[in-house]
A = this chain, B = another copy of it.
């Protein structure tokens, strides 16, 4: 990105999916506008995917779940794309092995753009033709597809960041970032009383199936830190020997520390001139006042223990988040990097900047039912071994988030913009 991305446009809401469709699709391509097609080929680890694959897979989603059902003249753009760009839907059939997505030099970037253009045109044509119940069902899938595309927009950024970090050349995705602040205000605690609380999604707006049903939880009195944990606070943990102190860690986390030689967050490095952090703008001096990012659940939990606190549960987080607007540092600003907490409110940075690890297992809500058919594989089958993260990041779209939104990753994952908010019991 030679120049900083433009500020967030005023998009049609995703609840008007026909209108939002070209805008959301356009954002995906706009995120790639300064990439070289070669950058879109490589896969830096099995968890990450090539940019080109993201461009094609999001298109496959509309082709498979919308056009195949609703386009009377449906013909696949290419017979092999069903196989190549299926991510994990067993019900759709066999698929290209995930760890080998980086071998797909073909289709080329222009061919993938042609695939996108073809599907975009068919979607517009088909949606214009539908009415009645059929139209409602199609709109619902279209809206889901837009939220899906926004999830992949975030992955485009995190996967590119991981890829570029492997390269000794340290390529930059965007123009240089200004230096960050060296210090943050003191951390304060915001208390919440005990009580029976309702969490989860209810009502007319869009939400993923994993946010439902809305249900009651009993929460003891608790407090959350008013802002995210900073690089400077995390550095104290590092320098105090946090990565060498077994008693701070879960057993599985400690194994990971030992086996993988963890000593710092994923994108930190020590240089003769001091600590640096890899950003989407390349390597840069570590800004101690900015939120720590790219830490695993293991690191977040060990830090919290070190700090004499704990991580919040997702219910605690949600109860708190319902009190603030969905506003913050999102990809809409083009920064693509967390920033220091501002003074604007009491409970800050709940949305944007970094995803916040909770101590909650990613599990079905009581009474949860996944959708029928292949789309039922969207969320439900991942409800084992993962942890919930909340709030979105600097790589998320503001229109994508809400207080009930549940993200989930494995406890050792570090390549997302994932950080730490602290919690503690009051009583």
Contacts and interface: CB of A to CB of B under 8 A. Distances in A.
Contacts of A384: 250-253, 297-298, 301, 411
Contacts of A427: 367
Given A363-B361, A382-B250, A36 B108 contact: yes
A367 B163 CA distance: 41
A166 B103 contact: yes
State which size class the interface on A falls in: 35 or more
A168 B82 CA distance: 11
B251 A381 contact: yes
A361 B387 CA distance: 10
Contacts of A168: 80, 83-84, 96
Contacts of A247: 90-91, 376-377, 381
Interface stretch (A119-127, A132-140, A215-223): A215-223
Interface string A360-388: 01011011000000001100011111000
Contacts of A107: 169
A326 interface: no
Contact of A167 (B103, B254, B363, B377): B103
Interface stretch (A40-48, A224-232, A330-338): A40-48
A171 interface: yes
Contact of A381 (B90, B163, B249): B249
A40 B42 contact: no
A106 interface: yes
A230 to B, nearest CB: 25
A36 B90 contact: no
Contact of A105 (B42, B251, B359): B42
Contacts of A367: 220, 425, 427
Contacts of A236: none
A307 interface: no
A229 to B, nearest CB: 20
Interface string A416-427: 000000000101
Contact of A217 (B218, B301, B382): B218
Nearest to A384: B250
B251 A39 contact: no
Contact of A103 (B42, B88, B100, B196): B42
Nearest to A41: B41
B36 A169 contact: no
Contacts of A252: 384-385
A68 interface: no
A246 interface: yes
Contacts of A425: 366-367
A106 B169 contact: yes
A104 interface: yes
Interface string A24-53: 000000000000111111111000000000
A251 B411 contact: no
Contact of A41 (B84, B105, B366): B105
Contacts of A169: 80, 84, 106-107
Contacts of A37: 37-38
19 contacts: A38-B40, A39-B105, A41-B41, A41-B105, A84-B169, A88-B251, A91-B246, A96-B168, A103-B163, A103-B166, A103-B167, A106-B167, A196-B196, A247-B376, A250-B382, A251-B384, A252-B384, A297-B384, A361-B363
3 smallest A-B Cβ distances: which pairs?
A361-B361, A90-B246, A250-B384
Given A218-B218, A359-B364, A367-B425, 7 more contacts: A38-B40, A42-B42, A88-B251, A105-B171, A106-B169, A251-B382, A298-B384
